[in-house]
Structure 1
Amino acid sequence: MKNLLMLLLSIFFFSCQSKENKNTSVSDSDSIATNKDTLTTKMVTNTKEEINKQVGDTIFMDSKNEQGLFIADGLLDSIHPKVYVKFKNEDLGELNGNIIPAAGKGNIRFNQIIFPNKNSDGPFGMDLKIPLTQKGNHIIVIGHSQMADNPYWGKFKVQLENKKK
C-alpha cells in the first residue's frame, strides 16, 4: 500500500511539473516578442527631449542642447537617495555644473565625481567647477549632504558644460 501511494504521488508531481514547463516556455517567447516590439517603438520615437532623462537612479547625458550644455531633470526620493549622472568626455577642459532644485533651495549637492581611471574627487556644493584631464566616461554622484539636516527629496535640474581648453 505504501509503495502504491508513493508511486501515485510521484506520477502526480511529475505530471504537474511537465505542464508548468510547457506554459512557461510559451509565455517567455511571448514576452520576448513584446519586449522586442517595445524597444523598436522606443527607438523610432526617441527625440532629444527623451534622451537625457533619469532611468532608475541613473541619468545618461547623451545629448547637448543648442548652447552646448547637458541638461536633464532628476528626482531624489527615498528609493533613490543618490542619482548617478553618466557622461562621456571627448575634450579636455573644465567641467562646470549646476544643480537647481525645484523648490528653490534644498540640501542637495554634487557628492562625488568618478573619473575614467576610477579615481574620485568630492564633495562639492550645488556648483561644480573641476578640470577634466581625462577622456572617457565620467560619473557624477548627486545626493544630499550627510552633514546637514533635512535631506532633499524632490525634483531638480542638473546642468553640465564642458569648456574646451
Structure 2
Amino acid sequence: MKNISIFLLSILLFSCQQKQTKTDSVSSSDSIVAKDSIIVKENKVENEQIGDTIFMNFKNEKDFYVAEGSLDSIHSRVYVKFKNEDLGELNGKITPAGGKGNIRFNQIISPDKSSDGPFGIDLKTNLEQKGNYVLVIGHSQMADNPFYGKFTVQLENKKK
C-alpha cells in the first residue's frame, strides 16, 4: 500500500510540473499584418453560407443578392440575413440544384421581431421597416421527403 501511494504521488508531482515552452518571436507589426491579410480574405468571400447562416452583403451587377447554400441533416434550416435600407417590395426565389425539391421560404423575421410565413419557393412581400431582416429557408413539414442538397437563393429589393 505504501509503495502504491508513493508511486501515485510521484506521478502527480511529475504531471504538475510546468514545462517551459519555446516562444516564437513575433513582433506586434507581424500580427497586425496577419490580421489584415485575414480581413482581405474575408472581403473576397461574397454571400457564402457559413454554418447555417448566409449573410447577404454584396449585390451583383443586376442589383440582386445571390448566394448558394445547402441543406443537410445537420443544417435543416438556413438563415439568410440581409439589411434593408429602402422601403419597398422584396422578391425572392429559391432554385434547387436538382430542379425541383421540397424547399421553401418558411418565414421572414422583421427588425421588430415580428414574423410572417410560410411562403413557397417564390417570395413576394412588402418591406415596411428599415433594418436587419432574416429569411428562414427549409423544407415543408407538411410534405414528404425533406430536401437535402444545394440551392441558390436570389433576392431583389424594389424601391417604392
TM bin, normalised by shorter chain, reads: 0.7 to 0.9
Matched, 1:104 2:99: yes
How many Å separate the matches in 2 of 1:19 and 1:92?
A: 61
Q: What pairs with 1:1-165 in structure 2 (closer than 5 Å)?
A: 2=2, 5-6=4-5, 8-19=7-18, 37=34, 40-46=36-42, 50-165=45-160
TM-align CA RMSD? 2.8
Count of aligned positions: 155
TM-score between both structures, scaled by the size of structure 1: 0.81
1:14 and 1:91, CA in 2 relative to 1: closer, same or farther beyond 3 A? farther
1:69-114 deviation line (CA, Å, top 9, x unaligned): 1000111111211111011111111111000111111100000111
How many Å separate the matches in 2 of 1:149 and 1:18?
A: 60
Report the identity percentage. Answer: 59
In structure 1, the residue corresponding to 2:66 is in which secondary structure? strand
How many Å separate the matches in 2 of 1:88 and 1:18?
A: 53
- Report how far residue 14 of structure 1 moved: 3.2
Give unmatched runs, 5+ long, in structure 1: 27-32
Greater helix content: 1
TM-score between both structures, scaled by the size of structure 2: 0.83
How many Å separate the matches in 1 of 2:8 and 2:125?
A: 70
Give unmatched runs, 5+ long, in structure 2: 24-29
